[in-house]
Amino acid sequence: MNFCSACGATVSFRIPQGDSLPRHVCDTCGEIHYSNPKLVVGAVAEHEGKILLCRRAIEPRLGLWTLPAGFMENSETTADAAARETLEEACARIEVVDAFSMVSIPHISQVHLFYRARLPEPVFAPGEESLDVALFDEQDIPWDELAFRSVRLALEHYLADRRAGRFIFHSDDLAMEPVKSM
């Protein structure tokens, strides 16, 4: 950031008085510009024991499978975001049940929140961000083709809880994957 969105003056990257972290601070009006983690929200939507997955039509991870999820918008609840993302990516209307899995990913400044959801009717189609959408039985989930580690964690927790006959809230932290040497 080079200029203040409040007054247009230049900003400096420094620790403001009373704070403990460096921020972009306007040199003229004193406005502090915070940069905070992004919230990605999605759903583990189930219909007759099968899980709804989308094959990504966009980067990152083009062509791989994921749960319907995306960035939360301003002025919506997290549950509304999960339902909206499912409608956008899978053209499916879901009934959101409850928050189920939260994954903190500090190295990319994101938090992924997944809801349990019901897909009342098996009505779905690829949205603009999906190449394909399908319902998968547990044994048919394309584990080696999942786009994100947070999705794998959410699915593993979901399926384990379903087998146990009770759902609990899960909270995980994902560290950056080590770079593989050649």
Q: Read off the DSSP letter of residue 3.
A: B
Strand partners, 42: 69, 114
Residue 181 pLDDT greater than 70, yes or no: no
Please check whether residues 59 and 149 belong to one and the same domain: yes
| CB of 122 closer than 8 Å to CB of 135 | yes
Is 65 a member of any domain? Answer: yes
Specify the residue for token string 């409608």.
87
Q: Does residue 85 carry a pLDDT above 70?
A: yes
Q: Is the Cβ–Cβ distance between 63 and 55 less than 8 Å?
A: yes
Query: Domain total for the chain?
Result: 2
Percentage of residues in the chain having pLDDT higher than 90: 96
Confidence of residue 109 (pLDDT cuts 50, 70, 90): very high
User: What CATH number is attached to the domain comprising 79?
Assistant: 3.90.79.10
pLDDT digits (tens, 9 = 90+) for 67-80: 999 999 999 999 99
Structural domain includes residue 57: yes
99 shares a domain with 55: yes
> 108 and 29, same structural domain?
no
pLDDT in tens, 12-56: 999 999 999 999 999 999 999 999 999 999 999 999 999 999 999
Q: Which domain holds residue 43?
A: 38-173
Residue pair 129/60 in contact (Cβ under 8 Å)? The answer is no
User: pTM of the full predicted structure?
Assistant: 0.90
Q: Are residues 6 and 95 in the same domain?
A: no
Residue 23 belongs to some domain of the structure: yes
Is residue 178's pLDDT more than 80? Answer: no
pLDDT (0 to 100) of residue 176? 87
Asked whether residue 48 falls in the same domain as residue 109, the answer is yes
At 9, which CATH number? 2.20.70.10
Query: Would you call 2 exposed, middle or buried from its count of C-beta atoms within 10 A (0-12, 13-18, 19+)?
Result: exposed
